Amino acid sequence: MFTGIVEELGAIISIEKSLAGTRMTILASTVMGDLKIGDSVSVNGTCLTVVSKSEHNFSVEVSPETLSVTTLGLLMAGSLLNLERAMKLNERLGGHLVSGHVDGVGTVRVRQQEANAILLTIEASPDVLHHCIVKGSVTVDGISLTINQVTDRGFSVAIIPHTAKATSLGLKQVGDQVNLESDLIGKYVERLLQERAQLPAKLTPVIDKKFLQKRGLL
């Protein structure tokens, strides 16, 4: 589980492709602090497992399925990556709960400067938009953002100067693709409501003499 608060920008050192999958070696510094083999790391919003590490880099393996449903298959050596280690329960939750399971790939359709912020309009699939609400949370390439506007084709987010400098979003241009994860809590609430609608309504008990005698109250 992650927070969507990117710890640093890493870079791909190498990509090794085989029939079994793809292995990426990533240059990093901040996340290397207490990183161990087997740990989870959010890489552009995708939860991946560390399979090896050295002093200044670590490697992850990416399955063909993950490559097909995220933007990771478009990356190459030198590509910048938003990195975040798994959250600790004793720290502040600065963003929102992020699982690292990408719901879909979106496309930047509009980029415009608005005062000191960059306004991005991102086209997304109906499955992602279904869980998007104004002032709600969404994860874009691993970054927790607040939704400004939602339409039937996409949503808009504002990128403040700090986020633009500390993540890859400041470099995104019209036509670029991004990994999207909609709000985790919203998905759970929807599922619970769907199940509740399928259950038969509970009968309200009649509080009478027979009811009280059965429970030893008379």
Q: Residues 6 or more apart from 179 whose CB is under 8 A from it?
A: 44, 45, 46, 70, 71, 102, 105, 106, 139, 140, 141, 142
Q: Which amino acid is at 214?
A: K
What does the alpha-carbon distance between residue 121 and residue 32 come to, in Å, rounded to a whole number? 33
DSSP state of 30: G
8 Å CB contact between 119 and 205: no
Is the model's pLDDT at 181 over the cut of 90? yes
149-165 confidence digits (pLDDT tens): 999 999 999 999 999 99
- Confidence at residue 4, expressed as pLDDT on a 0 to 100 scale: 95
Domains of the chain from N-terminus onward: 8-85 (2.40.30.20), 104-198 (2.40.30.20)
- Whole-model pTM? 0.86
Backbone angles phi, psi at 93, to 5 degrees: -95, 90
Query: Can you give the pLDDT at residue 154?
Result: 97
Share of the chain above pLDDT 70, in %: 94
pLDDT at 204: 64
109: pLDDT strictly greater than 70: yes
pLDDT higher than threshold 70 for residue 179: yes
User: Quick one: pLDDT at residue 199?
Assistant: 61
- Quote the CA–CA distance of 12 and 153 in Å, as a whole number: 32
